[in-house]
Structure 1
């Protein structure tokens, strides 16, 4: 006498419970999975058969035509009944059966093993659907014996109006859900329903992008450029009457409708506007033909790694750029400014591989004087020209020279001229003192190594021929005249000091 099955069989259905009407011509789609489990023991099997009813005479719910019966493991091969050898089941016109042979029967069934049944079912009596599973098994890799059938009773109810499994799919691989796409990629939408008419809206257009009786939609010319939520409406009362001018609903008629929604995300969306109240982090590049505005809000800030002009062009900034205190602006390349750069802080230009900074004009802030609190070094071969006045509170030093050109009567005021590093000041050009001006020398003035006699100097006059100093004696020649003598060096005599004065 056959023993009870060693395996445990657990069914799962879609829909759950199964639904079926009484018309065999209009079966209701049914999907059944039967999971095989050995529990804690090792169970070996060489064959398992799955049997389902396919005829109204079976007395239960039945498949309207032979369903598809398959398995999730390629080690199990389906075999026709006539090729089964020692048949697990006998032929029966009211049932459809498939036997699966295990090519690896010497291995215990410790892996997931699932049989699937899919097709359309109907019922004339409202009875459940009965599925039989018959196994040939053993607790050892030999001595397989047929076990008693395991009867799975699956409840079946009258069909109710439903709308489910609203999915976006890849048009080329419809079995794969696809909720994230690139802008412009085609997409296919599909759903399950026993409704009679459907409307599909994309939230962009007031009119539906599709309406009809099909349970899927694909239009290769339709694309989306940003995140889109699709809304599907299903009606059980039909929709064709809306285009039939001869059919008019009476007052009070209400159609039973169901709705489902699905959001498709676009990886690279085109946005008409974007407001970010928190932080915005971008790992890639932000490009656009319009503009971006960042408003100051509660001390927040924007971190931008790199700013570039569009299409390789220069970056154009048509507004004031304010650098907050404690921050710097660094330029790795060239900076060209047609207008002005102003700031309350400072700007530093570092020498880098012989690069340089070209500045057309430097001005102090708010009309004030320009203040330079560091050494200004003018590279050899370059000049510094001042069109206006140059005021220096400290010193101007240089290893080259400074040239002041006459220009429309302008002049240069210099408080003090000094030679470099304590040396004498050297003037290697004619020094012209304009009429009405004086040259004042605080110390002695030497020309060609000889001191220059100044007004008010006290001097002694030496006579080269006689070899003596000229002096005035104490002997009067007349009342207002005195004798002048030559005094040869010896003891000094009075009257040898002469004072120089202008006429």
Structure 2
């Protein structure tokens, strides 16, 4: 940094200054609203000391800044400038107020108007010792003027110095003056481009909050970056550019809630023009991790392990192109419908609390058991292949017909008639009428008896049954099998009519 030279030798004290930044660059013309930090701001550091061999007594020093829109003006406005002095124990300086700068010693006041809309004006800073006078010997003064909005025209601005001091005798009423030159150079965007060096993009949980290194799904995220004059920014996420008007010339963007549903990568593109008419492109990248991610699709090439519950949504379906094993004596429970379009092979127990629907075959290699409640309903044929059996351990209710041979080792309890070939099957205690198949006529028991122990059985030739021609069937054995020595009806030859009374 280079100190500005002193303009003349009128003052008794020596003055030098430097600027931050150095050299100064002008503010760009026609700054548009919404573009952050586009104006150029500067700080001035001024040091004052006695370079001679004779002590100097000083009562006040004034610093005069040229304010306006001309090339010889330093600042666009006097507003917002802050002044500090060291040592502050013996000297005073008054900070800038709105439109007016008051810089006074302890005993007097000076008024410094801000720059007007047209032409140039002055902003004055007065420094005075708190006791009214002070001798400046070895120790010096240090004055800082901060947040000066630099003029938008290149040129040399002269800072005025007014000094009330003497080496001997009383302090004069008229100050000695000098000037310090400050050069302002044109603004050149990207004058020192550094491709690849970005703008320090960072993600925060909120404004002023901690870094958003890991957030919950759908939580809001705040992005901030460093914006320099001339920068134009573009922000990308989820494969597309974020269309927000404040990003191009800004330094922040608030990602709305319900946006970051999974690990999300952000990319900030910064384009800066160069003095030769070109441009420099810089990129910043960061990724925000999400704890409970929501994914549109997930493909796992290796093993997939879920240590907690695995819950799917109500829409869509879960497909497996490989076997699914349920280990450690756990259950595969279906509270809704379980649909099997192909073959279902079950080697163990299947517990289903809802409905089991199979559009294909259901194959059971072992025992198939139902619970005690409810019923099993079949709307199609149930076939039991030989040598297997359909064993009914309790009552069997058949509402339709039984085709083929039915072998029952226990009792058959029929609440209605049992038919064979459309005709009823006789059962224990049934009452029947019997007619002769050859001669016709129904058998009946007449009133007269043959003797005291026996009675007659006659055939009623006219035709229909008579009142004493009904007979009751009684089962006289405890087994359903016929006696071994009893021939069946088909094996008994037809006999001639027995003799009467034989």
Could you say whether these structures have the same fold, taking a TM-score greater than 0.5 normalized by the shorter chain as the test?
Answer: no
Q: TM-score, normalised by structure 2?
A: 0.42
Q: TM-score, normalised by structure 1?
A: 0.42
